[in-house]
Chains A and B, each alone.
Chain A
Amino acid sequence: MKKIVFYLLILTISGCIETFEPTIDLDTTAIVITGIITDLNPAQVEIARPVMGHIKEGNMKRVSGATVLLFDDQGNQEQLTEIKNGYYQGILKGVVGREYHINVHLPNNDIINSSPQLLKPCPSIDSLFLEQISYLKADGAITQLHINGLSLNLYMNRDDALSRYFKWKVGGTYSRYTAFDINRQEPPCYITLPADFNFTVGESMSSNADLLWKKLKLIKPDGTYAFGHSVEVEQYSLTKEAYNYWKKIEDQQSNVGSVFDPPPAQITGNLSYVDDQNIPAIGFFEVSGVKKKRIFINSTFFLVFPEKPNQFSTRDLDARCFPPFGWAGPFISPHWCDDCLLIENSTKIKPSYWPE
Chain B
Amino acid sequence: MSIIKRLSVLTLFFFLVVLQGVKSQSKYDYEFKNVSLDSAIHLIEVDNKIRVYYLPEWVDNQKINNHYSSNNLKDLLDNMLYNVGLSCIIYSSNTYILIKQLNDGQVIEEHTSTGEVIKKITVGDSKVDVKEATISGRVFDVENKLPLPGATIYSKELKKGAATDIDGYYEMILPTGEHALIINSLGYHQENYNIILQSSGTIDVSLLSSRNTLDEVIIKGLKMDNGDSEGQMSKDVLKIESLEYVPTLMGEKDVVKSMNLLPGVVSGEGSNGYSVRGGGYGQNLIFLENTPLYNSSHLFGLFSVFNSGVVDNLTIFKGTMPAKYGGRVSSVMDINLKDGKNENWAGEAAIGLISSRIAFDGPITKKLSIVSGGRMSYFNRYLNRIENNDIKNSQGSFYDANAKLFYAVSDKSTLSINGFTSYDDFTLPEGERITYSNQLASAKWVQEFSDNVHGDFDLTYSNYYSTIDSEDSLQQRYVKNSISTFSAKGHLSLLKLENHQINLGFESNLIQVDPGRVFLSNPFETSLTQIPKESGVESALYISDEYKLSDKITINLGLRYSYFALLGPGKEYIYEPNMPRRSSTLIDSLTYSEGEIIQSYGGLEPRFFFKYKINNSLDVKFNLGRSRQYLHLMSNSASISPLNIWKLSSSHLKPQVADQMAIGIFKKIDKKNIEMSYEFFYRHINDLPDFKNGAVLFNNSNIENQLVSGSGEAYGHELQLSKKTGKLSGWLSYTFSRSFNTMNSEIDEEKINNGNKYPSNYDIPHSISLTGDYMLTRLWSLSFNWLYNSGRPITYPESYYYHDGTLVAYYSSRNEYRIPDYHRLDLSLNLKGSSLKINKKWNTTMSFSVYNVYGRKNAYSVFFQRSGYQIVGKKLSIVAQPIPSITLTVKLR
Q: Indicate with 1 or 0, residue by residue over A133-161, a CB within 8 angstroms of chain B CB atoms.
A: 11110100110000000010000000000
Cβ of A335 to closest chain B Cβ, rounded Å: 24
Q: How large is the interface on B (under 10, 10 to 19, 20 to 34, 35 or more residues)?
A: 35 or more
Cβ of B411 to closest chain A Cβ, rounded Å: 50
CB pair A12 B883 closer than 8 Å: yes
Given A215-B524, A262-B696, A264-B809, residue A5 in contact with residue B803 (CB < 8 A): no
A28-80 residues at the B interface, CB under 8 angstroms: 30, 32, 34, 36, 48, 50-55, 57, 60
CB pair B857 A264 closer than 8 Å: no
CB pair B878 A9 closer than 8 Å: yes
Complex CA distance for A138 and B808, rounded to whole angstroms? 28
CB pair B874 A17 closer than 8 Å: yes
When C-beta atoms are compared, the residue in chain A nearest to B470 turns out to be: A3
Complex CA distance for A251 and B808, rounded to whole angstroms? 11
When C-beta atoms are compared, the residue in chain A nearest to B871 turns out to be: A256
CB pair A284 B428 closer than 8 Å: no
Query: B878 to chain A: which residues have CB within 8 Å?
Result: 8-9, 12, 15
Complex CA distance for A251 and B818, rounded to whole angstroms? 23
- A266 contacts the other chain (CB 8 A): yes
Q: Indicate with 1 or 0, residue by residue over B846-890, a CB within 8 angstroms of chain A CB atoms.
A: 000000000001011111111001111111111111010000000
Name the contact of B432 in the complex, choosing from A3, A21, A194 (C-beta under 8 A).
A3
Query: A197 to chain B: which residues have CB within 8 Å?
Result: 805-806
When C-beta atoms are compared, the residue in chain B nearest to A203 turns out to be: B584
Name the contact of A206 in the complex, choosing from B584, B695, B813, B866 (C-beta under 8 A).
B584
- A263 contacts the other chain (CB 8 A): yes
Given A16-B877, A203-B583, residue A133 in contact with residue B523 (CB < 8 A): yes
CB pair A20 B859 closer than 8 Å: yes
When C-beta atoms are compared, the residue in chain A nearest to B802 turns out to be: A57
- A11 contacts the other chain (CB 8 A): yes
- A10 contacts the other chain (CB 8 A): yes
Given A4-B641, A265-B795, residue A256 in contact with residue B866 (CB < 8 A): yes
When C-beta atoms are compared, the residue in chain B nearest to A3 turns out to be: B428
Complex CA distance for A251 and B869, rounded to whole angstroms? 15
A141-188 residues at the B interface, CB under 8 angstroms: 141-142, 151, 164-165, 169
When C-beta atoms are compared, the residue in chain B nearest to A248 turns out to be: B694
Q: Indicate with 1 or 0, residue by residue over A189-203, a CB within 8 angstroms of chain B CB atoms.
A: 000001011010001
A278-305 residues at the B interface, CB under 8 angstroms: 278, 282-284
Query: A244 to chain B: which residues have CB within 8 Å?
Result: 749
Complex CA distance for A262 and B641, rounded to whole angstroms? 12
- A345 contacts the other chain (CB 8 A): no
Complex CA distance for A251 and B866, rounded to whole angstroms? 12
CB pair B426 A151 closer than 8 Å: no
Complex CA distance for A6 and B883, rounded to whole angstroms? 18
Given A141-B390, A164-B584, A259-B637, residue A264 in contact with residue B804 (CB < 8 A): no
- A258 contacts the other chain (CB 8 A): yes
- B7 contacts the other chain (CB 8 A): no
Name the contact of B795 in the complex, choosing from A10, A251, A264 (C-beta under 8 A).
A264
CB pair A19 B805 closer than 8 Å: no
Cβ of B410 to closest chain A Cβ, rounded Å: 50
Residue from B388, B804, B883 having most chain A Cβ neighbours under 10 A: B804
A240-270 residues at the B interface, CB under 8 angstroms: 240, 244, 247-249, 251-253, 255-267
B375-393 residues at the A interface, CB under 8 angstroms: 379, 383, 386, 388-391
Given A4-B641, A263-B636, residue A256 in contact with residue B865 (CB < 8 A): yes
- B10 contacts the other chain (CB 8 A): no
CB pair A262 B864 closer than 8 Å: no
Given A19-B872, A203-B583, A263-B637, residue A11 in contact with residue B808 (CB < 8 A): no
Given A7-B429, A11-B299, residue A259 in contact with residue B639 (CB < 8 A): yes
Query: A260 to chain B: which residues have CB within 8 Å?
Result: 637-639, 641
CB pair A30 B799 closer than 8 Å: yes
Given A141-B390, A266-B795, residue A14 in contact with residue B802 (CB < 8 A): no
- A22 contacts the other chain (CB 8 A): yes
Complex CA distance for A135 and B475, rounded to whole angstroms? 9
CB contacts between A and B, total, < 8 Å: 243
CB pair A54 B810 closer than 8 Å: no
Cβ of A199 to closest chain B Cβ, rounded Å: 7
Complex CA distance for A204 and B586, rounded to whole angstroms? 12
CB pair B693 A14 closer than 8 Å: no
B392-432 residues at the A interface, CB under 8 angstroms: 394, 396, 426, 428-430, 432
- A205 contacts the other chain (CB 8 A): yes
Given A10-B391, A54-B800, A60-B801, residue A20 in contact with residue B875 (CB < 8 A): yes
- B300 contacts the other chain (CB 8 A): yes
CB pair A20 B862 closer than 8 Å: yes
Query: B794 to chain A: which residues have CB within 8 Å?
Result: 263
CB pair B877 A18 closer than 8 Å: yes
Name the contact of B691 in the complex, choosing from A21, A22, A249, A262 (C-beta under 8 A).
A262
CB pair A24 B796 closer than 8 Å: yes
Cβ of A348 to closest chain B Cβ, rounded Å: 26
The 9 A-B residue pairs with the shortest CB-CB distance, nearest first, are A196-B805, A265-B693, A135-B474, A50-B799, A20-B875, A14-B881, A3-B428, A54-B870, A32-B801
Query: What are 24 sample pairs from A and B whose C-beta atoms fall under 8 A apart?
Result: A4-B426, A5-B876, A10-B391, A11-B379, A14-B880, A16-B877, A20-B859, A20-B874, A32-B803, A52-B798, A52-B800, A165-B584, A199-B804, A206-B583, A249-B808, A252-B808, A259-B639, A259-B861, A260-B641, A261-B863, A262-B694, A264-B809, A266-B693, A278-B754
Interface residue ranges, A against B (CB under 8 Å) = 1, 3-12, 14-22, 24, 26-27, 30, 32, 34, 36, 48, 50-55, 57, 60, 131, 133-136, 138, 141-142, 151, 164-165, 169, 194, 196-197, 199, 203-206, 215, 240, 244, 247-249, 251-253, 255-267, 278, 282-284
Q: Give 5 new A-B contacts, CB below 8 A, not counting A11-B299, A11-B302, A266-B813.
A: A136-B474, A253-B866, A256-B865, A259-B638, A266-B693
Interface residue ranges, B against A (CB under 8 Å) = 270, 299-300, 302, 354, 379, 383, 386, 388-391, 394, 396, 426, 428-430, 432, 434, 472-474, 523-524, 582-587, 636-639, 641, 691-697, 749, 754, 794-814, 817-820, 857, 859-866, 869-881, 883
